[in-house]
Amino acid sequence: MLLLAGLEGLAIVYFLKAFEPSKADMLAGHAFDSSTLTPSVSEGVFSVLARQVLAFGSAAIFIGIAFKLQFWEGAVIMLPIGIGMLLLAIAWQSSTVV
């Protein structure tokens, strides 16, 4: 039971991490433009999207593992989707970092 609670907690943390402002924006003290509530342009759109795909994939994997431990249906779908999202995000980030 504690293992499931831990997996669900990790899934929530990784899901919320997708919406975290970049470290450069947090150090600068202005994570959002107050007039439009959009992220500042110090980080590219593709970098933010890759970080979000990575976080969503991690959350999907943890939920899939929890489903697998409970023998619920849906683990067969969640695990490959999460792994695919992680592979996509890692390939995307490695191709853009040169």
Is there a domain that residue 35 lies in? no
Q: Do residues 92 and 52 touch, judged by C-beta distance below 8 A?
A: no
Is there a domain that residue 34 lies in? no
> Is residue 22 pLDDT above 80, yes or no?
no
Whether pTM exceeds 0.85: no
The predicted model gives 15-40 an average pLDDT of 67
SS3 11: helix
Residues 11 and 64: their CA atoms lie apart, in Å, by 10
Q: Hey, which residues does 39 pair with through a beta bridge?
A: 32
Is there a domain that residue 17 lies in? yes
pLDDT band at 46 (very low <50, low <70, confident <90, very high): confident
Segments forming the whole domain that contains residue 56: 2-28+42-96
Mean pLDDT taken over the chain? 82
Is there a domain that residue 72 lies in? yes
Cα 66 to its chain centre, rounded Å, is 17
Is there a domain that residue 36 lies in? no
The predicted model gives 13-36 an average pLDDT of 71
Number of domains in the chain: 1
